[in-house]
Amino acid sequence: MWTNFFKLRLFCCLLAVLMVVVLVINVTQVEYLDHETVSATFIDSSGQFVSSQVTGISRNPYCGYDQQTLSSQERMEEDSLLAALHRQVPDVGPVPFVKSTDPSSSYFVILNSAAFFKVGSQLEVLVHVQDFQRKPKKYGGDYLQARIHSPKLQAGAVGRVVDYQNGFYKVFFTLLWPGKVKVSVSLVHPSEGIRVLQRLQEDKPDRVYFKSLFRSGRISETTECNVCLPGNLPLCNFTDLYTGEPWFCFKPKKLPCSSRITHFKGGYLKGLLTAAESAFFQSGVNIKMPVNSSGPDWVTVIPRRIKETNSLELSQGSGTFPSGYYYKDQWRPRKFKMRQFNDPDNITECLQRKVVHLFGDSTIRQWFEYLTAFVPDLVEFNLGSPKNVGPFLAVDQKHNILLKYRCHGPPIRFTTVFSNELHYVANELNGIVGGKNTVVAIAVWSHFSTFPLEVYIRRLRNIRRAVVRLLDRSPKTVVVIRTANAQELGPEVSLFNSDWYNFQLDTILRRMFSGVGVYLVDAWEMTLAHYLPHKLHPDEVIVKNQLDMFLSFVCPLET
């Protein structure tokens, strides 16, 4: 009897231990799954690791983008992108204009000043911002741009700005050429203006509106179109069947949706700002205004010895910043040797027997225009396309070169595009066979500046999938991405195409195509580092450097 009781007691104890073990394993597994699916880890601006729950990542509900069906990997990537761009502009309540950032009262000082520096040395600059009452600001969030340059040498490079959230900023430069090097810092927008731009991005994504013409016989109607439309009026659903990219127009009263003829930019909404907010966007006052130095604004740089120069070049990794610099008006990437295509014959030799596809906005259309103007044998074939819209085609029959340009699908702010020419880049890429004689260049950014970032992320996600498929089936295909660039800004342009908006798009593009196997033409640094004024469509000398870089990827120097 006692033996049976002891056996029963032992069995119960073993069962209890087993249950505890199973419970611990299950709890651990649940915690692991919860961590994998919900809590991604990112690095904030101070370099500290924080979770998405801590950073409070929220998606814009615009057009139901917060309800997208995403894989766990896509969700984590989007969280990471939004967290990286979460700009810490403190909510200090309404700020009067006199207490906003005044670039003329602010100043910078070179911290590690010395009698001379060597090429490759780091230069640190401290920026202290003040308001229009000449009082120090106690919070950050201002958008600054900075560069070093030597006008006589036609040399320039950009700096990396770090916001300490207390009215102080540090700018880090790498000194890349010898001589007298000058520092320039400019305030693009005060933090108070950035808060307004954030509000517009979240609450007024439809501030650029689009229209389509519907026509059948003698009857024609024009209706408004966009990624989504307000109200409960009947809609025409032009969502792309392959990519799922949404696009809608209000349904015409008398015509079917199938009668759509053209797409065009409708215009820009007015009256977006209050009188108080307008004060933060004044040309000559607080839009792209220089910040003066307190003390010397230049340093002397001497050459390194040959052995030191070789070790400097070897130490440049994949995360090199800046990516390059100008010297004698020629862009010099720091990661590879760029060729100079100064003669049309050089370009012809490079592109011989190749098909070149250019997809995107007007900034890559500039490449088509430059090549057809510079290379005599590359003759444009008249397709009867609307000027500045396309599609365009150029042929060099003697050397078997085919050059194509096609704009990306909506949203696109061109004047008039035939609806049957509204092709999405991802779909176009899916139709390319690829190979060693196929070159693809893509620039998609400018027309997305007014939308929430989720809209742009979705577009790039579709393009990236198509690029990966293209490179999988034809690994020798050359794919080049042209980044965004800075442009001229005024009070109105700032609300739609601010450099601050485009910097966000540029950051997303770089991260999403990192490690994909594409080449990058860094148009952002190439415009910021140059001495010429910023333009949406950069001047020819900058475009020439962009194409030299592009062609260097297509036809690299033999090593």
* Average pLDDT value for residue range 237-248: 96
Predicted pLDDT of residue 113: 76
The whole-angstrom distance between residue 330's C-alpha and the CA centroid of its chain comes to: 23
Q: What whole-number distance in Å separates Cα of residue 137 and Cα of residue 167? A: 5
Q: In this structure, what token pair is assigned to residue 506?
A: 């540029």
Query: Is residue 308's pLDDT more than 60?
Result: no
Predicted pLDDT of residue 39: 30
Q: How confident is the model at residue 36 (pLDDT cuts 50, 70, 90)?
A: very low
- Give the 3-state secondary structure of residue 2: helix
- Tell me the per-residue pLDDT of 180-225, one tens digit each, with 9 for 90 and over: 999 999 999 999 999 999 999 999 999 999 999 999 999 999 999 9
Nearest Cα to 517, choosing from 551, 477, 548, 482? 477
User: What's the Cα-to-Cα distance from 30 to each of 53, 102, 193, rounded to whole Å?
Assistant: 17, 52, 44
Phi, psi (degrees; rounded to nearest 5) at 59 = -100, 145
For residue 300, give the amino acid letter. T
Q: What is the mean pLDDT of the chain?
A: 88
Predicted pLDDT of residue 116: 84
Q: How confident is the model at residue 317 (pLDDT cuts 50, 70, 90)?
A: very low
Residue, of 43 and 338, whose pLDDT is higher? 338
Predicted pLDDT of residue 55: 43
Domain 95-188+285-305, second-level architecture: Sandwich (2.60)
- Tell me the per-residue pLDDT of 349-388, one tens digit each, with 9 for 90 and over: 999 999 999 999 999 999 999 999 999 999 999 888 888 8
Query: Is residue 26's pLDDT more than 70?
Result: no
Q: In this structure, what token pair is assigned to residue 316?
A: 């440049």
Pairing of strands 208-216, 219-226: antiparallel
* Average pLDDT value for residue range 44-50: 30
User: What's the Cα-to-Cα distance from 280 to each of 91, 197, 216, 237, 423, rounded to whole Å?
Assistant: 16, 11, 48, 39, 39
Predicted pLDDT of residue 1: 45
Q: In this structure, what token pair is assigned to residue 23?
A: 């419970």
Q: In this structure, what token pair is assigned to residue 16?
A: 């209890």
Phi, psi (degrees; rounded to nearest 5) at 495 = -80, -15
CATH 3.40.50.1110 residue spans of the chain: 327-552
Q: In this structure, what token pair is assigned to residue 436?
A: 């060693």
Q: Which fold has domain 327-552?
A: Rossmann fold (3.40.50)
Q: What whole-number distance in Å separates Cα of residue 276 and Cα of residue 477? A: 53
Query: Is residue 406's pLDDT more than 90?
Result: yes
Percent of the chain with pLDDT over 90: 77
Percent of the chain with pLDDT over 70: 86
Phi, psi (degrees; rounded to nearest 5) at 205 = -70, -15
Predicted pLDDT of residue 87: 66
Q: What whole-number distance in Å separates Cα of residue 444 and Cα of residue 424? A: 11
Q: What whole-number distance in Å separates Cα of residue 11 and Cα of residue 5? A: 10
Q: What whole-number distance in Å separates Cα of residue 279 and Cα of residue 528? A: 26
Predicted pLDDT of residue 307: 57
Pairing of strands 355-360, 438-443: parallel
- Tell me the per-residue pLDDT of 324-345, one tens digit each, with 9 for 90 and over: 999 999 999 999 999 999 999 9
Predicted pLDDT of residue 37: 30
- 78-101: string of b/e by CB count within 10 Å (b at 16+)? bbbbbbbeebebeeeeebebeebb
Q: What whole-number distance in Å separates Cα of residue 140 and Cα of residue 126? A: 13
Query: Is residue 464's pLDDT more than 60?
Result: yes
Nearest Cα to 163, choosing from 528, 500, 498? 500
Predicted pLDDT of residue 131: 98
Q: What whole-number distance in Å separates Cα of residue 38 and Cα of residue 431? A: 37
Q: What whole-number distance in Å separates Cα of residue 180 and Cα of residue 368? A: 37
- Give the 3-state secondary structure of residue 495: helix
**C-alpha angle 199-204-206 in degrees, rounded to nearest 5:** 155
Predicted pLDDT of residue 115: 76
Residue, of 15 and 229, whose pLDDT is higher? 229
The whole-angstrom distance between residue 514's C-alpha and the CA centroid of its chain comes to: 13
Q: How confident is the model at residue 558 (pLDDT cuts 50, 70, 90)?
A: confident
Query: Is residue 40's pLDDT more than 80?
Result: no
Q: In this structure, what token pair is assigned to residue 408?
A: 């990306």
Q: What whole-number distance in Å separates Cα of residue 214 and Cα of residue 237? A: 14
Beta bridge partners of 248: 226, 237
CB 361 within 8 A of CB 425: no
Report cis status (omega within 30 of 0) of the bond before 391. yes
Question: Could you tell me the pTM of the whole model?
Answer: 0.87
User: What's the Cα-to-Cα distance from 109 to each of 59, 189, 296, 540, rounded to whole Å?
Assistant: 39, 20, 8, 34
- Tell me the per-residue pLDDT of 509-533, one tens digit each, with 9 for 90 and over: 999 999 999 999 999 999 999 999 9
Predicted pLDDT of residue 92: 79
Query: Is residue 15's pLDDT more than 70?
Result: no
Helices and strands: H and E segment counts in the chain: 14, 27
Residue, of 346 and 309, whose pLDDT is higher? 346
* Average pLDDT value for residue range 263-274: 96
